[in-house]
Chain A
C-alpha cells in the first residue's frame, strides 16, 4: 500500500548507522509481518532506510536530520512530504518540537510539501497540560497536520461500530434510552505494567486508558449519525457526545479504583503492583478504574454507561456491551423466565473480533421455559480477508492525510474535563486492592449491584 517513492528515516540517541537501524527493522518485520516473508519486497524497502543519531538537545544532530530529509527529496523523489512519528516521553515534547520549529522541518511552506506529525498518548496528564501541549504542537505544525494516534480507533471492529449503527435499519431505532438499559464498556488486560513502571506509576489506569480508549469507544457508541462519513463530520458528532458526558454527583458510589495485589493469574504467580520493579511500596496509583458516566442528551438521558479498565484481570478482552431493557410485560410464569437475562448486543473489539446478539429462546421440551441464546458474528468466519493491524491502518491514513480515525484536540480536552474531577476526587485516597487474576475489586461489583445490575463476564 506504500507509494513507490518512500523512505523511512530514524532518529534516536543511539550510536547507530543505517545498517543497525535496518537490522532492527528487519527483525521486527520478520517477527510480526502478517503476510508471508518476501525477500524481494524487503530488499526494496531496505534501500529506503536511513538513520541519524543524536540527542534531542543537540542542535547539530537536528541540522543533520533536516539536511538528510532535504536530500531524500532529491534522491527518493518525495517532494518535501514527510510525516514525523514522535515516540518520545511526554517531557521531551517541548524540546523536540522547538528543534523542529528551529530547523523549519515542520513547516509546510518551507518544505514545499506537507509536514505531518503523529503524537502518541498520553496527550497531557490533565486538561491544563493537554491544552499547553495542543497549543505547542499546533503552533509548530498546523492544526490539521497533527494526528493524535489512538490505536483502538484503527481496529476493524471499532470502525464496524459505525457500519453496524448507520448502515443497518435494525439497530438504530433501539439505540436510545427507550430501549437501552445500560451500556458496559470494558478493556481488560491480563498483563501487568511490564517495563513501564515510571510512566505508569505517574499515570494510572484512568489517565492511561479511560481518558482515551474508553471515552473514544463511548463516543462512537453514543454519537448521533454524522452528516457524511468524513473526518470533520465524525469528529463533530464525537465532540458533541464527549461534551455531554457527565459524572455522577456522588462519586463515592459511582467511581471505584483498584490496585492489583499478589495472586495467581493463568496458572502463574503474579506479583503485587507495589512489589513491581520501580514501584514504590506505598504507591497509590490505580491499576483498575471503574466509573459510571451519563450522557446528557435526549437520546441517552438516564442510561448509565459503565466503564472499566484494569491490569492483571483474568483475560485480555475489550468489548462494548449494550444491554437492552427487559420486556415491559412477560406473559410467562416467573419460573419460566428465571434464566432469561437482558437482551444484549456485544461488540467484541478484541479478541474474537465480532458481534454477539443475545436474546431469550424457548428451551426444547414440553414446558415453556425461556433461556438466553446467542447469535454470533465472527470476523474470522464471515470474511477470509485478514484485517490490517490497527497501527498499519492508521499510519497509512496519516500518509494519505485522512484524519477520520484520529481524535481532534478539542476531543482530547473534552475527555480531560471528564477525567480531571475523577482524579481530583481520588487524589490522596488509597485504591482498593484486588487479587491479580480477579475481575477487579469487589467494590466495583457492589457499585453495579447498588443499581441492581452486574458486570458482564466478558
Chain B
C-alpha cells in the first residue's frame, strides 16, 4: 500500500506501476476499470460494496471522493492498494479538493486499465445529467442508484430523459429476483395476460420499474397500486382466461401462487449493495430490457435508439449557485 498526500496524478500513476511490479503476475489481468463516485460520509459503505464486487470481477477500482469544491487550493490525496483492504485487485482511493474535483477525469484518465471497459458507479444520488460529470462521459457503462435521490420519482423520470444505452440503475437490479420469479411463472403457460397490477409503494423506483417492465412485456399500462407496505408487496396478473398468477414477498421468501397449482416458495433474501453491483458488472453491454422498462415508466420511446456516447457539458457548481438565472 502506498499513501500519497498532496500529490499529482503522475505520482499516482507511478505508484500504481510500482505496486504492480512488486505485486507480481497475479494482478496483471483487469476485466474492467470501475470508477466509484462517492461522498466522504459514505466511503465505508461504498468500499464494502466495491470490495465484494471486486472479488467477483478482476478490476482496477478507482474511487473518487470529491471534497470542498470551494477550497482555495486544489489538492489530491491518494491511496494505492494492491490485493488489500479493497479486494484482490488494484485499487486507488483519491480524495480531490478544490477545483480539482471538477476535473476528476484528469486524474482518472491516465489510470484507466488499457483498452478495458470503464464502468462508472455513482454511489450517492445520480447526477442530474450524466454529461455534467466527465467521469460518466468516459465510461462505457454507467450505474446510478435513484433510490438515493431526495425525490426518487423525479430522479427515475430524469434517468429516462437523460438515458443513453449503457446506463442502468440499481433500482432495476433490485428487482431481478421478481423478474426471474414472474418469468418462470409463465413457463408452460400459453395464455396471454389481460391485466396486471403491482401493489406496493408508488414512490419506489423499483416498484415503478417492475410495473414498467411488465408494461413493456405485455404491451399495456400497468400501475403501481399504493398499499403502504413494503416497496413491492405483491404482483397480480390476470390471464386472458381469467386465471390469476400472483407473487408476494413474505419474510425473505417469495411465494408464487397459480390457480390450480401448488404454491411455489423460494428463498428471497435481501441482497447487499455489493451483490447488486457485482450483478451489474456481469454485463458490460447495454441493457435493452431496462431501457424498455424505463421507457414504459416514463412514457418516453426510442430509448434504445439513442446514441451511446455522451459529450461533456461544462457545468460549474460555483457559478450555478451564485446566479439566480440558474433556477
Interface residues of A (CB under 8 A from B): 190, 263-269, 314-315, 335, 338-339, 344, 346, 351-352, 356, 358, 363, 371, 373-374, 376, 378, 380-381, 437-439, 456-458
Question: Which residues from chain B contact A338 at a C-beta distance below 8 Å?
Answer: 285
| Bound Cα distance A188, B106 (Å) | 15
Query: Which B86-105 residues have C-beta < 8 A from chain A?
Result: 96, 100, 103, 105
Who on chain A is nearest to B28 by CB? Answer: A376
With contacts A339-B285, A352-B17, A376-B29 taken as known, whether A458 is within 8 angstroms of B114 at the C-beta atoms is: yes
Contact B13–A358 (Cβ < 8 Å): no
Residue B107 at the chain A interface, CB threshold 8 Å: yes
Query: Which B276-296 residues have C-beta < 8 A from chain A?
Result: 282, 284-285
CB < 8 Å: which of A267, A339, A457 contacts B114?
A: A457
Residue B24 at the chain A interface, CB threshold 8 Å: yes
Least CB distance from B105 to A in Å reads 8
| Bound Cα distance A458, B100 (Å) | 24
Question: Which residues from chain A contact B17 at a C-beta distance below 8 Å?
Answer: 351-352
Of the candidates A371, A373, A457, the one having the most CB atoms from chain B within 10 angstroms of its own CB is A457
Question: Which residues from chain A contact B25 at a C-beta distance below 8 Å?
Answer: 378, 381
Least CB distance from B197 to A in Å reads 31
Of the candidates B10, B100, B115, the one having the most CB atoms from chain A within 10 angstroms of its own CB is B115
| Bound Cα distance A356, B116 (Å) | 12
Interface residues of B (CB under 8 A from A): 7-10, 12-13, 17, 20-21, 24-25, 28-29, 31, 74, 76, 96, 100, 103, 105-107, 109-110, 112, 114-115, 117, 282, 284-285
Who on chain A is nearest to B285 by CB? Answer: A338
With contacts A314-B110, A335-B285, A437-B109 taken as known, whether A266 is within 8 angstroms of B115 at the C-beta atoms is: no
CB < 8 Å: which of B20, B21, B100 contacts A267?
A: B100
With contacts A374-B29, A376-B28 taken as known, whether A263 is within 8 angstroms of B13 at the C-beta atoms is: no
CB < 8 Å: which of A267, A339, A373, A378 contacts B284?
A: A339
Question: Which residues from chain B contact A457 at a C-beta distance below 8 Å?
Answer: 112, 114-115
| Bound Cα distance A437, B96 (Å) | 17
With contacts A378-B28, A380-B21 taken as known, whether A265 is within 8 angstroms of B106 at the C-beta atoms is: yes
Least CB distance from B63 to A in Å reads 15
Q: List 28 A-B contacts (CB under 8 A).
A: A263-B106, A264-B103, A264-B106, A266-B12, A266-B106, A267-B12, A267-B74, A267-B107, A268-B8, A314-B106, A314-B109, A314-B110, A315-B110, A335-B285, A339-B284, A344-B115, A346-B114, A351-B17, A352-B17, A363-B282, A371-B31, A373-B31, A376-B29, A378-B25, A437-B109, A438-B109, A457-B112, A458-B114
Contact B115–A381 (Cβ < 8 Å): no
CB < 8 Å: which of B13, B20, B96, B115 contacts A315?
A: B13
Who on chain A is nearest to B102 by CB? Answer: A264
| Bound Cα distance A190, B25 (Å) | 27
Contact B8–A266 (Cβ < 8 Å): yes
| Bound Cα distance A40, B85 (Å) | 46
Question: Which residues from chain B contact A456 at a C-beta distance below 8 Å?
Answer: 114-115
| Bound Cα distance A2, B17 (Å) | 32
Question: Which residues from chain A contact B282 at a C-beta distance below 8 Å?
Answer: 363
Contact B8–A267 (Cβ < 8 Å): yes
Contact A266–B29 (Cβ < 8 Å): no
Contact A190–B110 (Cβ < 8 Å): yes
Least CB distance from B49 to A in Å reads 22
| Bound Cα distance A456, B117 (Å) | 11
Contact B10–A264 (Cβ < 8 Å): no
| Bound Cα distance A447, B7 (Å) | 36
CB < 8 Å: which of A266, A358, A378, A380 contacts B107?
A: A266
Contact B115–A268 (Cβ < 8 Å): no
Question: Which residues from chain B contact A374 at a C-beta distance below 8 Å?
Answer: 29
Question: Which residues from chain B contact A335 at a C-beta distance below 8 Å?
Answer: 285
Least CB distance from B180 to A in Å reads 13
With contacts A264-B100, A266-B107, A267-B106 taken as known, whether A190 is within 8 angstroms of B115 at the C-beta atoms is: no
| Bound Cα distance A454, B13 (Å) | 25
| Bound Cα distance A458, B76 (Å) | 24
Q: Beyond the given A314-B106, A371-B31, A457-B114, could you list 7 further A-B residue pairs with CB under 8 A, ordered by the A residue number?
A: A263-B103, A266-B8, A269-B74, A344-B115, A378-B28, A381-B24, A437-B105
Who on chain B is nearest to A458 by CB? Answer: B114
| Bound Cα distance A81, B80 (Å) | 52
Who on chain B is nearest to A456 by CB? Answer: B115
Least CB distance from B176 to A in Å reads 14
Contact B100–A358 (Cβ < 8 Å): no
Question: Which residues from chain B contact A266 at a C-beta distance below 8 Å?
Answer: 8-10, 12-13, 106-107, 110
| Bound Cα distance A314, B103 (Å) | 13
| Bound Cα distance A190, B14 (Å) | 13
Least CB distance from A193 to B in Å reads 17
Contact A358–B106 (Cβ < 8 Å): no
